[in-house]
Amino acid sequence: MASDPLSDVFSALADPTRRAILARLALGEASVNELAKPFQMTGPGISKHLKVLERAGLIVRGREAQWRPSRLETRPLKEAADWLDHYRHYWEESFDRLDEHLRAIAGKSEGG
């Protein structure tokens, strides 16, 4: 079964190392070695993570002479945020109902 782009994004975001890589790339382009440094990971190890991020469309890898910078691509993150935002109304209604319920319980305990 082929995966859809949104599933690829959420799958890529499921790993804390990949989320940390994206956070670093939000500061600007970085090489494989720069990205690997905080994780004490080998080049091939970090490259596997970068391939997942690239396949999900979350990063773009370039080539400038010997330097292969990676940079953040925000469009897929926006699409994931928009999808999640679709459910915000449901969450807010649920929290509103919980607030009402807690106020009712508090009122009963004060008056009872």
Q: Per-residue DSSP letters for 58-111? A: SEEE--BTTB--EEE--HHHHHHHHHHHTTHHHHHHHHHHHHHHHHHHHHHHHH
64: pLDDT strictly greater than 90: no
Q: How confident is the model over 68-82, as a mean pLDDT?
A: 94
Q: Name the nearest CA neighbour of 12 among 55, 44, 41, 46.
A: 55
**Percentage of residues in the chain having pLDDT higher than 70:** 95
> Within 13 A of 110's CA, how many CA atoms are on the CB side?
6
What is the residue-averaged pLDDT of the chain?
89
* Number of Cβ within a 10 Å radius of residue 47: 17
Residue 25, φ and ψ in degrees, nearest 5:
-70, -20
Predicted TM-score (pTM) of the model is 0.77
Q: Which CATH number fits domain 1-73: 3.40.190.10, 3.30.450.40, 1.10.600.10, 1.10.10.10?
A: 1.10.10.10
- For the chain, give the percent of residues with pLDDT over 90: 55
Question: Where does residue 109 rank: exposed (0-12), middle (13-18), buried (19+ CB within 10 A)?
Answer: exposed
